[in-house]
Amino acid sequence: MQLTLEFGGGLELLCDSEKIHKVNVDLPNGEDDLTMKHLLSWVRTNVIKERPEMFMKGDTVRPGVLVLVNDCDWELSGQLDTTIEDKDVIVFISTLHGG
């Protein structure tokens, strides 16, 4: 499954300062759908290079990290239960900073 991941608000610094990552994610074994829950742990393992605690807390994003799935707040699509489809664009923006 081809996905576009975008990191902003400084989160890109946790993944080689690349803001946009075009990635290929396989469905988890024995599952028909890819959920955000799975995608997050995949991102943590495969994309985040340092300080994963700035990105995640427990099995979800750290409070203060905003998630948009296809330009839509993930709080509307069920957060961790959001089903991800091929060619989806997922944006992570950290709000935890000055400004």
Partner 1 sequence: MEASEGKSKKPGASRLCCLCNQRRPVLKRPKTLQQICRECFYEVFEEEIHQVIVGNRLFKSGERVAIGASGGKDSTVLAYVLSELNRRHNYGLDLFLLSIDEGITGYRDDSLETVKRNEVQYGLPLQILSYKDLYGWTMDEIVKMIGLKNNCTFCGVFRRQALDRGAALLKVDKLVTGHNADDIAETVLLNILRGDIARLSRCTSITTGEDGPIPRCKPFKYTYEKEIVIYPSLLKLNFDTLTYDIRMLISRSWTTSPPNVSIYSPNAYRGFAREFIKDLERLRPRAILDIIKSGEDFRIATTTKMPEQGTCERCGYISSQKWCKACVLLEGLNRGLPKMGIGRARGGVNGDHKKETKKPPASAAKSLESKQCGSLDF
Of 27 and 96, which CB lies nearer to partner 1 in the complex structure? 96
**Whole-angstrom distance, CA of residue 50 vs CA of residue 69:** 24
C-alpha 69/C-alpha 13 separation (Å) is 21
- Give CA–CA dist 99/83, Å, rounded: 33
Token pair belonging to 21: 């990552």
Nearer to partner 1, 46 or 87 (CB): 87
Name the minimum Å distance from CB 21 to partner 1.
16
Report the nearest approach of partner 1 to the CB of residue 65 (Å): 9
Beta carbon of residue 83, minimum distance to partner 1 (angstroms, whole number) = 6
Smallest gap from residue 34 Cβ to partner 1 (A):
12
Residue type, 61: V
- Which residues form the interface with partner 1 (CB under 8 A)? 8-13, 51, 54, 62-64, 66, 68-73, 75-78, 81-83, 85, 91, 93-99
CB 50, CB 14: distance < 8 Å: yes
